[in-house]
Chain A
Amino acid sequence: MQTSVTTTDGRAVVRLQGRFDFNSHREFREAVDGVLQQSAVHEIVVDLGNVEYLDSSALGMLLMVRDKARSTSKEVALANCKGAVKQVLEIANFSKLFTIS
């Protein structure tokens, strides 16, 4: 999986591309840890628009980010969810845990 981060006006967008599963853990953690350490960032948007697939490990990683973000008073949202990705998030009831667009 490939990651990229852009930060504008306290809003960090973490874009993911490819397959989001346990193999992606290191790349994902490096991307979000950098954002979590930025005190100027108040909102983290995980852009899943270019994610082909995700599994339950990815769900766990998203929850981990949300928990860490909360401890630093940041909000986490999921964006551009579609297809198989959207379906998995819906099944896992993530709409109750995240703002999803």
Chain B
Amino acid sequence: MNILLLEGRAVQHLNSALTAWGHTVLPGDRPLKPQLVAAVDVVIAERIETDGVDIELINLLQWCQDHCVYCLLVGETSDEEPSKPFILPLSKPVSIVDLKSVLSLLPSGRTGMCDEVEIRHQLQATQDVIASERRLVRRALEQFINIEQLADPAVKVWTRSTNVLSGDIVLSARTPANVLHLMMVDDMCCGALSVVSTIPVISPFYRMTEKGFGIDAITKEINSRLFRFYPEGQRVSAIVVSIDFSDGVINIWKGGDGFPILLGSARSDQAVTLRPALGTVSPEVFDARTDVWTFQGDVLFALGSTGLLRHFSAKNPDTSALENFDRWLQGHGIPQFSVLKELDLLNDLDASDGMSLALVSCHRDPKNLQEYGVLHSKQASGGEWRLSLVISPDEMRTVDVVPLLLGVIGQFETTRAMGGVLFVVLSELYNNALDHGLLGLDSALKLSVDGMSAFLDERSARLAVLQQGEIELSLVQEHGPDGPMLSVLCRDSGPGFDHNAQLKDSPASDAQNLPYGRGLALISSFASKVEFNPAGNQLRVQLKVTPDNVPESAIS
């Protein structure tokens, strides 16, 4: 090797030894000159103990670092620590007695040294990226999880992680109808991957809750996303809960090992159906059905993670984990929910696993609803939605329009229970628009012996050759002074009809045996308002979105 031997009392006598060991010794002075770079493999300098900062030494080491040159700092005594890194990665304090062996161990030539420098640089860069990534991930997770939503007055959440980023995530939000949605995701991946993997979970939860979708639709959507986008074997354990405070109903979808429990006097830890974790099964076979619990008065609902369950399982083997958990909570003032905000509940637990706990104060007292009045009114605007469909003859021949719309409307929590009513309204509106507005059919055809068949045959024949025309169906949910209203508009491109005369002569009122003429009467019976445009080719129906518009069986 080409060794640059810098001046210094301790190294002066090394010249002959280095030459004897087969190295080429170059004398040098500080500061080092750039032209030496190409010729030098190793720099040997004297190590001088100093109380202050040795600027010269730092410059020397930096020069060596920059040019992939090893720097050995040689001391006079033999009690140095020859393997301990010193200041910069490529510099070592070396005792003179060890110098020969140290030189023999150095990478041969500058290429090897440069490789080592490069590796160290890459390692440092990677560590910097990891540190930066962790900061970013923590920030991103806080944003995704939406800490503000967790500030719901009825919900308290504790999480305790065992890593930089916990594998548990707790989400909560309210629908426009003031139903609380709570989701506990267990054992998500840690680190930067946790952010990526939570996107298909967190985004639909908040977006669909805000729009009023039920948890069945939400779990379906999340499962579908995970199934499509996640690699095989990468699944998400989760429990999703909806709590309707006004009806005292808790719906639970459980696709993980965590636990839901009602505490206090209403203690209930009845078994909940365990479904495959989200993303495990294809959307076609995914089972979004929920278990239903009910409550009266004041109760406390708890949702705990797998880690919490494991901890309480181990705490007292003679009793169940949930009993241990219940007792532990009672020791912290349960069911006095208000006390809990002062406690850091999970800190006194000794566990090697990440743990999360969400407690929900459930009051079925109607007065309690006023407590959430501000929240409700704030989120109510988010529950306004509009759905519009315009179809042309090709689609009229192939698409089953009413079930299509019902499938979408059924995703919304507020209108899902109105399926029966909406089926009638949409069917009547659409069929009238098509049969009479575009196809020009006369219902009197139904009066013959096989009138219905004749009518439908004629309908099929005319629809098969229909070239022009369109039907628009629009649904708008808005919040009026008396609560949410659903406005259904049906417009066809036909010439319209004299609706006043038609209604006046409607056979429904005086000839109940006729096989037609009941459509408008049915619509009117459900609607708050029915309104034709002057041309008679557009009808707007307004429906109250309330349990009043839900058949009895749907309510029960």
A residues in contact (CB < 8 Å) with B? 19, 21-23, 25, 29, 52-57, 59-61, 63-64, 67, 82-88, 91-93, 96-97
Evaluate contact between A53 and B423: CB separation under 8 angstroms.
yes
| CB pairs A–B below 8 angstroms (21 shown) | A19-B403, A22-B456, A53-B420, A55-B431, A56-B427, A56-B516, A59-B518, A60-B452, A61-B452, A64-B515, A82-B551, A84-B419, A84-B420, A84-B423, A84-B424, A84-B554, A85-B420, A87-B420, A88-B420, A88-B522, A96-B512
In contact, A55 and B427 (Cβ under 8 angstroms): yes
CA distance A74 to B247 in the complex (A): 46
A53 proximity list for chain B (CB < 8 A)? 419-420, 423-424, 427
| B446-472 interface bits toward A, Cβ cutoff 8 Å, 1 = contact, 0 = none | 100001110010000000000000000
Q: Top 5 closest A-B pairs, CB basis? A: A84-B420, A83-B553, A60-B515, A53-B423, A55-B427
With both chains docked as a complex, state the minimum distance between the C-beta of A78 and any C-beta of chain B, in angstroms: 15
Size bracket, chain B contacts: 20 to 34
Nearest-Cβ distance from residue A88 to partner chain B, whole angstroms: 6
* Contact partner, B421, options A29, A57, A59, A84, Cβ 8 Å: A84
A97 to B511, CA, bound (A): 12
Given A54-B424, A61-B452, A82-B553, 7 more A-B residue pairs with CB atoms under 8 Å apart are A55-B428, A55-B431, A55-B522, A56-B428, A84-B423, A84-B424, A86-B553
Query: Chain B interface (Cβ within 8 Å of chain A)?
Result: 400, 402-403, 419-421, 423-424, 427-428, 431, 446, 451-453, 456, 512-516, 518-519, 521-522, 525-526, 551-554
Flag if A56 contacts B519 (CB, 8 Å). Answer: yes
Interface centre among B456, B518, B526 (most CB of A within 10 A): B518
* CB-based contact A93/B420 at 8 Å: no
- Say yes or no: B553 contacts A21, CB within 8 Å: no
* Contact between chains at A83 and B420 (CB < 8 Å): yes
Closest A residue to B425 by beta carbon equals A55
| A21 and B419 in contact, given A64-B451, A64-B452, A91-B521 (Cβ under 8 angstroms) | no
- Residues on A with C-beta less than 8 A from B424 are 53-56, 84, 88
Once bound together, how far apart are the Cα atoms of A97 and B306, in whole Å?
60
How many angstroms between the C-alpha atoms of A60 and B552 in the bound complex? 24
Which residues of B lie under 8 Å from residue A52 when comparing CB positions?
419-420, 423
In the bound assembly, the distance between CA atoms of A84 and B419 in angstroms comes to 8
Whether the Cβ atoms of A57 and B431 lie closer than 8 Å is: yes
